[in-house]
Structure 1
Amino acid sequence: MAIYNAIMNFKNWMWGLPVLLILIGGGIWLTIACDFVQIKHFGFAMKKTIIATIRGDKDKDKNKVSGYQAVTACLANTIGTGNIVGVGSAIALGGPGAVFWMWVVGFVAMCLKYCEAVLGVHTRIKGEDGRWKGGASHYLGQVWKPLGIIWSFCCVFGLAIACGTHTGSVASAASTLGVPSIVSTVIICVMVIILILGGGLKLLVRITEKMVPFMAILYVGTGLIVILANIGNLIPALASILSNAFTGTAATGGFAGAALSAAIKNGCARGAYSSDAGNGGASILHSQADVDDPVEQGMWGIFEVFVDTIIVCSFTALVILCTGVWTSGDPGSMLAINAFGTIGIAGRLIASIGLIWFATSPVLALTTMQGMVSEDMFGKGVRYVAQLALLICCFIGGTIGVDAALPWVDISNMLLIVVNVSGMVLLSKTLRRLTLDYFSKTKTV
């Protein structure tokens, strides 16, 4: 218990000023280095990606992965537990002001994810089997070879823990529909086994390119109905986000109150968890895209965070705040489901099913990512051991629940962010050159 408490205390301290400086400070540094790409070229990024999304672009060659398919696989991971459970936990522990700090992280996360995608494509190599090998392990290795190895170890550990958290979310959501936790946990474990043995990346992108857009639209559409049903509370909800972002939140109803430090810490932690930016994980999938220029895939990185944090997370937060369920004192993992339930059984059902899918799809994406990075860096033997550990974490996560697993996700995410953001800052000259070269040749809007 003493060791556990020491680890949690260190985690809480790191997610204060240290990680804030690295994540936001590093993001601002890279924003400047990349010529404010997520601001100056936001319109270009949205035009290029949204048109491709509407068309459902995919490579005609079944052995290749398009930029669109790569980002739907990434969104299968990012639009997950963090968008529902993470937002609820941030508000439950930090009050409405935590949402503001999630937006701050989202702003810099657009550039961080852009950099991860660009570097992932820029430094990848062709394997003997003709498939791309790339990701943070490759570009960090260019800074200092041990840095790539350290990141890979942390990534293999972190992805397994994250899968446990998402499985816990599935179990919690399924239990609200009367499905025993052990049943939903076993189903997830079977799906993981099928993906490990028979599918990998090709199976993943075939699933995500169809399901991710559908579930995102259904979830946001239902959230809009909840907000409209409580439209009188919308302006006060937005005002509470801005006012409590710099003051903290007083106790009200079943809410115990939260200091300013709690709003910042929980907003940043959950924002980083939701957007999945800064830790380098998405670079694994982005590096698989068959694109002509690294910056082209970087546009998808900006799009990915915009959809995840600015759209989906914001809808979850406004649903929770407009309905007032955040003052109930219920655990963060249940706030969104309870809020959707205010419009009836249909809303609760959609929220529960949405959480089940949003938590299941990251498990599939993370399983694929872990297999790719462990085999790339350490060989097939280590890949099987790592994926067995991931499967065990899925089972444990479904048993202990998401609230108990979330602190361990923060620890693994913290380690990955420190290593990855530091390395990308050292590669800022390369990022600046690639960015300026691309836009000097491209007519943007």
Structure 2
Amino acid sequence: MESVKSFFDTLGGWVWGPVMLVFFVGTGVLLTLILKGLQFSMLGYALKQVFASHKAEDGSDHEGDISHFGALMTALSATIGTGNIAGVATAVVAGGPGAVFWMWMTAVFGMATKYGEGVLAVKFRTTNAKGEMSGGPMYYIQNGLGKNWLWMAYAFAVFGSIAAFGIGSSVQSNSVAQAIHTSFNVDPAYTGVALTILTAVVVLGGIRGIATASSFIVPVMAIGYVLGGLAIIVMNLDLVAPAVGIIFEDAFTGQAVAGGALGTVIRYGVARGVFSNEAGMGSAPIAAAAAKTDHPVRQALVSMTGTFLDTIVVCSITGIVLVMGLMSGGEFVKPELSGAALTTVTFQKLLPGIGGWVVTIGLIFFAYSTILGWCYYGEKCATYVFGEGFANIYRVIYVATVMAGTVVSLDLVWLMADTFNGLMAIPNLIALILLSKVIVSETRDFKEKRKRGELP
């Protein structure tokens, strides 16, 4: 067992090493340049499309399974999770406050990456035997790059179907069980049973059930968490300017408060940013492909807003509050505190009475929604490899790993999950670069049709 852990530890270190992080950000920079900063010029329009419900000329729905909003909420259900609470805290402690700035930079360029993924997801999606949409990196690699690249499509699908059991189910269920045990002293096994039943009820209904649940859970949990963070900021306005100032200072010096070497600040900021918003990982386009839309670009714009909401909004709240906590003295920060525990005590310190509950409840719902979203991702990857008949089998196995995650040690699972998440990104990023001309062409087509009045 130790040899297996050592293997994944080494492999994971390489996968998430400097070269890979440059690959992530570099792809975003490339797409930003060739799309002429579309994530800035069209962000306002993109946010409006989240709630738009465009119909075909005959009044019928456009081809697809779920609405723009449902697709975005399904994607956000998987991305807004423990990374927004625990991941940001890890970045601030290990890398310094400046890591928050580099998370922002990752999100800025990641929006272009997420946009590109969305365009290709809808452009190259197919309809399966059940009449449902199937799409994502494996399909735009197969249909966009051709049969010579089929091995890469299968590689992505295998990595994705395995990664879902880790980062999607067992790791998340363990986080929920531990949070409830700490706050309410409930045996993790009881939490496991309840969580398994709740998961089964939703995921066995497929994408429509997941989208319906996500469309309720994600807005409620995100708004609740953001309001808690904003309350702290408003109550401690005198700390906001110094906190933001130290984030910018430490981003380029690595010397402020908990900071260290500049390279460490950048590394943790970029790594946690990528891990949180998943731009470039290839997971979100699987949900984007299911959207009812009249043009690939429209759903891509909606997908792009997911990175904005996840990192620029939610992660920023966590990061600024954590730095404010450090600026206020930080005497409550104990050496053994890290991840979600640090975020919890910081919120409690700056918002006495309910601050800790905001984080605990947020963590529970964030993790549960991630379980739902990743089930869909893993299922689509698995059925690409084994066929549509494997869908129900995969769902049952997935639900079982939710229960397992609450009662077993997860050291190895974490290592494997990190590794397979990173491995997913390699074929996806290669495809984004090779198909970048398609992304530009579809973008130009959309803009021209809008100018002619053919699209709203």
TM norm structure 1: 0.90
Aligned match for 1:155, one of 154, 160, 168: 160
1:202 aligns with 2:208: yes
Q: What residue is the counterpart of 2:353 in the other structure?
A: 345
Q: What residue is the counterpart of 1:309 in the other structure?
A: 311
Question: Is the contact made by 1:231 and 1:322 (CA closer than 8 Å) also made in structure 2?
Answer: no
Q: Deviations over 1:248-282 (max 9, x none)?
A: 346x6xx6x64333322222221111102111111
Assess, with a 3 A threshold, how the Cα gap between structure 1 residues 294 and 97 changes in structure 2: closer, same or farther: same
How far did 1:188 drift?
2.0
| Residue type of the alignment partner of 1:157 | I
Q: What residue is the counterpart of 1:283 in the other structure?
A: 285
Q: Tell me, what secondary structure is at the counterpart of 2:294?
A: coil
Aligned match for 1:228, one of 224, 230, 234: 234
- What are the equivalent positions in structure 2 for 1:19-418 lying under 5 Å apart? 19-49=20-50, 64-141=65-142, 142-143=144-145, 144-162=149-167, 163-178=169-184, 179-197=186-204, 199-249=205-255, 258-324=260-326, 327-329=333-335, 330-342=337-349, 343-380=351-388, 382-384=390-392, 386-399=394-407, 406-418=414-426
Question: Is the contact made by 2:203 and 2:209 (CA closer than 8 Å) also made in structure 1?
Answer: no
Assess, with a 3 A threshold, how the Cα gap between structure 1 residues 158 and 4 changes in structure 2: closer, same or farther: same
Distance (Å, rounded) in 2 between the aligned partners of 1:224 and 1:27 = 29
Q: Deviations over 1:312-365 (max 9, x none)?
A: 010011111112259433121212211221222322112211110011011011
Q: Which moved more, 1:344-353 or 1:413-422?
A: 344-353
How far did 1:109 drift?
1.3
| Residue type of the alignment partner of 2:241 | I
Question: Is the contact made by 1:185 and 1:398 (CA closer than 8 Å) also made in structure 2?
Answer: yes
Q: Tell me, what secondary structure is at the counterpart of 1:175?
A: helix
How far did 1:25 drift?
0.7
Question: Is the contact made by 1:185 and 1:394 (CA closer than 8 Å) also made in structure 2?
Answer: yes
Question: Is the contact made by 1:102 and 1:267 (CA closer than 8 Å) also made in structure 2?
Answer: yes
Q: What residue is the counterpart of 1:55 in the other structure?
A: none
Distance (Å, rounded) in 1 between the aligned partners of 2:130 and 2:253 = 56
Distance (Å, rounded) in 1 between the aligned partners of 2:252 and 2:407 = 37
Q: Deviations over 1:64-101 (max 9, x none)?
A: 41111111111111111111111112222212121122
Distance (Å, rounded) in 1 between the aligned partners of 2:63 and 2:293 = 15
Assess, with a 3 A threshold, how the Cα gap between structure 1 residues 400 and 227 changes in structure 2: closer, same or farther: farther
Q: Which moved more, 1:217-226 or 1:185-194?
A: 185-194
Distance (Å, rounded) in 1 between the aligned partners of 2:107 and 2:411 = 23
How far did 1:217 drift?
1.3
Distance (Å, rounded) in 2 between the aligned partners of 1:72 and 1:210 = 9
| Residue type of the alignment partner of 1:364 | L
Q: Determine what percentage of the aligned residue pairs are the same residue.
A: 31
Question: Is the contact made by 1:189 and 1:395 (CA closer than 8 Å) also made in structure 2?
Answer: yes
Q: What residue is the counterpart of 2:57 in the other structure?
A: none
| Unmatched segments (≥5 aa) in structure 2 | 54-59
Question: Is the contact made by 1:166 and 1:402 (CA closer than 8 Å) also made in structure 2?
Answer: no
Question: Is the contact made by 2:163 and 2:417 (CA closer than 8 Å) also made in structure 1?
Answer: yes
Distance (Å, rounded) in 2 between the aligned partners of 1:156 and 1:442 = 38
Assess, with a 3 A threshold, how the Cα gap between structure 1 residues 248 and 170 changes in structure 2: closer, same or farther: same
1:423 aligns with 2:418: no
Question: Is the contact made by 1:172 and 1:402 (CA closer than 8 Å) also made in structure 2?
Answer: no
Q: What residue is the counterpart of 2:56 in the other structure?
A: none
Distance (Å, rounded) in 2 between the aligned partners of 1:185 and 1:261 = 40
Question: Is the contact made by 2:80 and 2:310 (CA closer than 8 Å) also made in structure 1?
Answer: yes
Assess, with a 3 A threshold, how the Cα gap between structure 1 residues 23 and 3 changes in structure 2: closer, same or farther: same
Distance (Å, rounded) in 2 between the aligned partners of 1:405 and 1:84 = 20
Q: Tell me, what secondary structure is at the counterpart of 2:279?
A: coil
| Residue type of the alignment partner of 1:26 | T
Distance (Å, rounded) in 1 between the aligned partners of 2:389 and 2:266 = 42
Assess, with a 3 A threshold, how the Cα gap between structure 1 residues 238 and 387 changes in structure 2: closer, same or farther: same
Q: Tell me, what secondary structure is at the counterpart of 1:344?
A: coil
Q: Tell me, what secondary structure is at the counterpart of 2:180?
A: helix
Distance (Å, rounded) in 2 between the aligned partners of 1:441 and 1:61 = 17
Distance (Å, rounded) in 2 between the aligned partners of 1:428 and 1:285 = 20
How far did 1:403 drift?
7.6
Assess, with a 3 A threshold, how the Cα gap between structure 1 residues 384 and 64 changes in structure 2: closer, same or farther: closer
Assess, with a 3 A threshold, how the Cα gap between structure 1 residues 62 and 48 changes in structure 2: closer, same or farther: closer
Assess, with a 3 A threshold, how the Cα gap between structure 1 residues 237 and 303 changes in structure 2: closer, same or farther: same
TM norm structure 2: 0.88
Assess, with a 3 A threshold, how the Cα gap between structure 1 residues 307 and 402 changes in structure 2: closer, same or farther: farther
How far did 1:425 drift?
0.5
Distance (Å, rounded) in 1 between the aligned partners of 2:132 and 2:249 = 50
Distance (Å, rounded) in 2 between the aligned partners of 1:290 and 1:416 = 26
* Equivalenced residues, count: 434
Question: Is the contact made by 2:65 and 2:133 (CA closer than 8 Å) also made in structure 1?
Answer: no
Assess, with a 3 A threshold, how the Cα gap between structure 1 residues 239 and 72 changes in structure 2: closer, same or farther: same
| Residue type of the alignment partner of 1:48 | Q
Question: Is the contact made by 1:97 and 1:249 (CA closer than 8 Å) also made in structure 2?
Answer: no
How far did 1:186 drift?
2.7
Q: Tell me, what secondary structure is at the counterpart of 2:292?
A: coil
How far did 1:285 drift?
0.9
| Unmatched segments (≥5 aa) in structure 1 | 53-58
How far did 1:435 drift?
0.6
